[in-house]
Structure 1
Amino acid sequence: MANKKVVVAFSGGLDTSYTVMKLTQDGWDVYAACANTGGFSDEQLKKNEENAFKLGAKAYVTLDVTHEYYEKSLKYMIFGNVLRNNCYPISVSSERIFQAIAIARYAKEIGADAIAHGSTGAGNDQIRFDMTFLVMAPGVEIITLTRDKKLTRKEEVDYLNEHGFFADFTKLKYSYNVGIWGTSICGGELLDPTQGLPEEAYLKHVTAPEQEATLKITFDKGEIVAVNDEKFDDKVKAIQKIEEIGASYAIGRDANVGDTIIGIKGRVGFEAAAPKLIIEAHRLLEKSTLSKWQQYWKDQVANWYGMFLHESQYLEPVMPDIEAMLTSSQRNVTGTAILKLRPYGFETVGIDSANDLTKSKLGEYGETQTGWTADEAKGFIKVSSTPLRVYYGIHKDEKR
């Protein structure tokens, strides 16, 4: 009888390396699949392929879903200016969903009997992977050796060494997850709530000149079309260009404390130049091109969109409905936002847009008005004050 097929979500790290070898030794036909959402270099992907075969995999494939990730998630996070706790750009958590979808799709294509991943039982990723597999690949067995066996790093390394596979799996002070929408950093000083990360913990450092520089990001209906007047049809490349510029100033560093899906608090550091610059530029343009209530209601649904993404609810049927509203809200968000960059920080400067609502002929704030007379303004103010005058006319003792 033919061996059963298992697809291993393969990152090249210790847990997934152990999983590939152990399942191979247990008689499975292992198909190692690396789902790339923009975090792997060509060199890393080549190394992953080499190692997968050394570990015993029958096949290896790279599933590049970077553009799918943008089209089905990132652009809506930009439309919504999504930052978890007004801080974290939901990078790794949203990427995991699309990695899981790609793995489930591949498992169905090859008729796999099982899917395996290397998540532990203490984090969010186990939920993102398992939940996606349960929905997208029903009936396919889910194998999680690291979680189920409560394996230690030493046990995994020893097993690999005993079976002839040697690699540098030294436990580093910090662990990193790199993607197109930012790099997360865990461990080290972050385990002490009184400390922040030192300079050496970050992967990107100041390489740009000390003087300030101008960054112009041009949007068309909420999507980036130009960076410093250089046009981009490929939105992923536009994001990468902004990351290249912002990272050279070490922009986008911070740490976030938030609630995990499993209920405990978690602290994560990150560096995310592109998300921070893009979201603030987009928000700046929206302030001048959206109405008061468009901004208000868009913020409400965008907050839910970010929470659902983070908490593994991307497949919830309400998500396309939220995306439809976010898309509709962008119909007039066209123009250029201007930012000023400096080492470790930036400021918003202004916008240039044909849809700028501050250019109304009815009046210029604090200067002149042509849309109403002085008497009309007095009447408006008096009528607007009526509910307060009624209340305090009766409850005189409550006047502040």
Structure 2
Amino acid sequence: MKKIVLAYSGGLDTTFCALHLSRDLGYEVHAVIVNTGGFSEEELKAIETRANGLGVASFHILDVVETYYEEVIKYLVFGNVLKNQTYPLSVSAERILQAKSLAEYAKSIGAKAVAHGSTGAGNDQVRFDMIFQTIVPDIEIITPIRDLKLSRQEEIEYLKKHGVAMNFEKAAYSINKGIWGTSVGGKETLTSSDYLPEEAWPTQVTEHDPKELTLTFVQGELIAVNGKKFESPTAAIQEVQAQAAPYGIGRDIHVGDTIIGIKGRVGFEAAAPLIIIKGHQLLEKHTLTKWQLFWKNQLAEFYGNHLHEGHYLDPVMRNLEAFLADTQTFVNGDVRVMLHPYRFTLLGITSENDLMSNKFGSYGEMNKGYTAEDVKGFTRILGNQTSIFHKVNNSDEAN
């Protein structure tokens, strides 16, 4: 029997795929779940039990949380990446790393095919296929739900026919949880006008009194929260999430352009990503030069868009990561953040690398680095070409 690696989550689609691939297509199915920080131990145990009940040849958990941070999340922080100035790429970034990990696993066990449960309607099908065709170009990609154009009801009838017992009730909201945020989809996100109700959000609001957090960054990476140092930035991210999520912080709905050319809406809950990105961005405003900030903004926006659309393996991404990492040398210091229900306030920063230093003057009051005559000469030179243009062309604006 030919080996096939199935991206398995334990939901309806991948349960169908596991059974169809083995019973109907004759594959030796190796079910793999890629954990990017969204599963508890209990959930992983339940998913493993369900997979084994389907008769898969093996079930394997790839814990890639640290890899996810080192290869993807770190650069999203360095670039302060928010898609359309709103969305921290919670799902799209996760899918890239999941696909890459699955492809590498398929190669390691000598699989002849890989499969995923994507339909033909979303972005994930493109992300998975692009990664697979690059890393394992000789391996067949099989997508039963997409290829057979199956409805949810047809999947349910097939599974019932083969004696699969599971909860076939469709949840009111689809939830996808990872360390870099949780997506929420439901009937409201299929409209252009409706907002998600309170009960749709995975984390309910239980904190109401304001609370201050201090985030400590070293070379752009979060290493401590409220003075407590963590062995890994992933642990620091989880600490911020634990502190801020009960305030209902980080909830929003992203409206964007899909890879396949249609617009879509998705709700998300991302307290830690938004606080960390905005805190990091404030620290950069104090520690980087004007032109460092300018070029970071341009290149980081491209980086986020390219990642979102599945082009993670394009070599230009490694070039951009090198640039982003190089800008972080002096992004060091503490950022104070005040948490409130449904919002947060950036209070200020403390940094030895703060370029807003009174050693060189106070904005709007005094300077210590130049004279009034220096400014007059500088201004004349700075505007010289504009002045010449208007004089040569007899512009009315110059008269």
Question: Is TM (by shorter chain) over 0.5?
Answer: yes
Q: What amino acid maps onto 1:54 in structure 2?
A: G
Q: What amino acid maps onto 2:216 in structure 1?
A: T
Counterparts of 1:280-291 in structure 2, within 5 Å, are 280-291=278-289
Offset, 1:109 = 1.3
Look up the match of 1:123: 122
Look up the match of 1:171: 170
Looking at structure 2, the residues matched to 250 and 267 of structure 1 have their Cα atoms a distance apart, in angstroms, of 20
Look up the match of 2:198: 199
Look up the match of 2:225: 227
Offset, 1:325 = 0.4
Matched, 1:136 2:135: yes
Offset, 1:380 = 2.1
Q: What amino acid maps onto 1:127 in structure 2?
A: V
Counterparts of 1:25-174 in structure 2, within 5 Å, are 25-26=23-24, 27-174=26-173
Looking at structure 1, the residues matched to 189 and 52 of structure 2 have their Cα atoms a distance apart, in angstroms, of 36
Q: TM-score when scaled to structure 2?
A: 0.97
Looking at structure 1, the residues matched to 262 and 193 of structure 2 have their Cα atoms a distance apart, in angstroms, of 18
- 8 Å CA contact 2:190, 2:264 repeated in 1: no
Looking at structure 1, the residues matched to 378 and 114 of structure 2 have their Cα atoms a distance apart, in angstroms, of 66
- 8 Å CA contact 2:174, 2:185 repeated in 1: yes
Q: What amino acid maps onto 2:8 in structure 1?
A: F
Offset, 1:28 = 1.7
Look up the match of 2:316: 318
Looking at structure 2, the residues matched to 252 and 365 of structure 1 have their Cα atoms a distance apart, in angstroms, of 33
Residue 331 of structure 2 aligns to a residue whose secondary structure is coil
- 8 Å CA contact 2:254, 2:266 repeated in 1: yes
Residue 323 of structure 1 aligns to a residue whose secondary structure is helix
Looking at structure 2, the residues matched to 169 and 375 of structure 1 have their Cα atoms a distance apart, in angstroms, of 79
Residue 14 of structure 2 aligns to a residue whose secondary structure is helix
Deviates more, 1:158-167 or 1:278-287: 158-167
Look up the match of 1:352: 350
Residue 356 of structure 2 aligns to a residue whose secondary structure is helix
Q: What amino acid maps onto 1:377 in structure 2?
A: V
Coordinate RMSD, CA, aligned = 1.3
Q: What amino acid maps onto 1:195 in structure 2?
A: D
Q: Give 5+ residue unaligned stretches, structure 1.
A: none
Describe the superposition over 1:66-102 as per-residue Cα deviations: whole angstroms up to 9, x where unpaired.
1101000100100000000010001100111111111
Looking at structure 2, the residues matched to 30 and 190 of structure 1 have their Cα atoms a distance apart, in angstroms, of 35
Looking at structure 2, the residues matched to 315 and 391 of structure 1 have their Cα atoms a distance apart, in angstroms, of 46
Offset, 1:105 = 1.1
Offset, 1:399 = 6.0
Residue 314 of structure 2 aligns to a residue whose secondary structure is coil
Look up the match of 1:363: 361
2:268 to 267, 270, 273: 270
Looking at structure 2, the residues matched to 396 and 74 of structure 1 have their Cα atoms a distance apart, in angstroms, of 51
Looking at structure 2, the residues matched to 133 and 391 of structure 1 have their Cα atoms a distance apart, in angstroms, of 55
Look up the match of 2:239: 241
Offset, 1:293 = 0.4
Q: What amino acid maps onto 1:302 in structure 2?
A: A
Percent sequence identity is 52
Q: What amino acid maps onto 2:131 in structure 1?
A: T
Offset, 1:307 = 0.8
- 8 Å CA contact 2:205, 2:341 repeated in 1: yes
Looking at structure 1, the residues matched to 383 and 326 of structure 2 have their Cα atoms a distance apart, in angstroms, of 35
Residue 338 of structure 1 aligns to a residue whose secondary structure is strand
Residue 358 of structure 1 aligns to a residue whose secondary structure is coil
Look up the match of 1:18: 16
Offset, 1:160 = 1.0
Residue 96 of structure 2 aligns to a residue whose secondary structure is helix
Deviates more, 1:376-385 or 1:73-82: 376-385
Q: What amino acid maps onto 1:282 in structure 2?
A: H
Residue 247 of structure 2 aligns to a residue whose secondary structure is coil
Q: What amino acid maps onto 1:86 in structure 2?
A: Q
Residue 215 of structure 2 aligns to a residue whose secondary structure is strand
Residue 206 of structure 2 aligns to a residue whose secondary structure is coil
Offset, 1:172 = 2.2
Looking at structure 1, the residues matched to 382 and 132 of structure 2 have their Cα atoms a distance apart, in angstroms, of 56
Looking at structure 2, the residues matched to 118 and 383 of structure 1 have their Cα atoms a distance apart, in angstroms, of 63
Describe the superposition over 1:228-280 as per-residue Cα deviations: whole angstroms up to 9, x where unpaired.
11101211111000111110111001111111111111111111001000000
Q: TM-score when scaled to structure 1?
A: 0.97
Describe the superposition over 1:344-365 as per-residue Cα deviations: whole angstroms up to 9, x where unpaired.
0011110000000001522111
Counterparts of 1:206-221 in structure 2, within 5 Å, are 206-208=205-207, 210-221=208-219
Offset, 1:156 = 0.8
Look up the match of 2:388: 390
Residue 276 of structure 1 aligns to a residue whose secondary structure is helix
Q: What amino acid maps onto 1:330 in structure 2?
A: Q
Offset, 1:396 = 4.2
Q: What amino acid maps onto 2:48 in structure 1?
A: E
Q: How many residues align?
A: 397
Residue 170 of structure 1 aligns to a residue whose secondary structure is coil
Q: What amino acid maps onto 2:340 in structure 1?
A: R
Looking at structure 2, the residues matched to 236 and 46 of structure 1 have their Cα atoms a distance apart, in angstroms, of 23
